[in-house]
Amino acid sequence: MKPLLLIDIDGPLNPYAALSRRGAPEGYTRHRMRPTGWTAGPPLPVLLNPRHGDELLALAGRYELVWATTWKNEANEWIGPRIGLPPLPYIDWPEMHGAAPAGTYWKTQYVVEYAAGRPFAWVDDEITDRDRAWVAGRGAGGESLLLWTDPLIGLERADFDTLAAWADSRGTAG
């Protein structure tokens, strides 16, 4: 069985922090979106790089791709089509931005719960060493890769290479 690749949007695919510092990084296009919950003011600016869709599709032979984002199912409407991804399953967070164990990011406990013992790689800009330690303490440490991405830059070539190498090292590539 392939491991899961749990994909956050804001940070890894949408380097939102670049908007306030230097604008869109090379290869990114600015989109205006109004997902549910974004009702006041102008549409949300989102930076997306269509190359990321190709990179993720290439990883689909090694992983089962899953959205791990507050966009939830709306990622399939607003993000996936713009980078060339088909509809993906998503984590339907039981609670967003709530309390988390041991100083971890609020998503971490739900990522582990969603994986349900299955190997997984998780890409997010909020991952810390506390999250890695907590996941390892749940018995998933050797069966997980928690990959932090810089929200100024987003996913880079080296990140996709790391994800491919991790899946290949497990001997489960499709």
> What are the chain's domains?
4-169 (3.40.50)
- What is the model's pLDDT at position 28? 94
Q: What is the mean pLDDT of residues 87-109?
A: 88
Helix (H, G, I), strand (E, B) or coil at 20: helix
Judge whether 73 and 90 are in contact, CB under 8 Å: yes
Cβ-proximal residues to 161 (8 Å cutoff; 6+ apart), any chain = none
Helix (H, G, I), strand (E, B) or coil at 156: coil
Q: What is the mean pLDDT of residues 143-149?
A: 96
Q: What is the mean pLDDT of residues 80-108?
A: 90
- What is the model's pLDDT at position 66? 98
Q: What is the mean pLDDT of residues 85-93?
A: 96
Confidence of residue 82 (pLDDT cuts 50, 70, 90): very high
pTM above 0.75, yes or no: yes
- What is the model's pLDDT at position 103? 83
| 114 vs 126: CA distance, rounded Å | 18
pLDDT of 149 over the 60 cut:
yes
- What is the model's pLDDT at position 174? 46
- What is the model's pLDDT at position 172? 53
For every residue of 67-121, DSSP letters joined together read E-STTGGGHHHHTHHHHTPPP--B---SSSS---GGG--TTHHHHHHHHTT--EE
Q: What is the mean pLDDT of residues 80-84?
A: 97
pLDDT of 50 over the 60 cut:
yes
Judge whether 74 and 34 are in contact, CB under 8 Å: no
Higher pLDDT, 89 or 101: 89
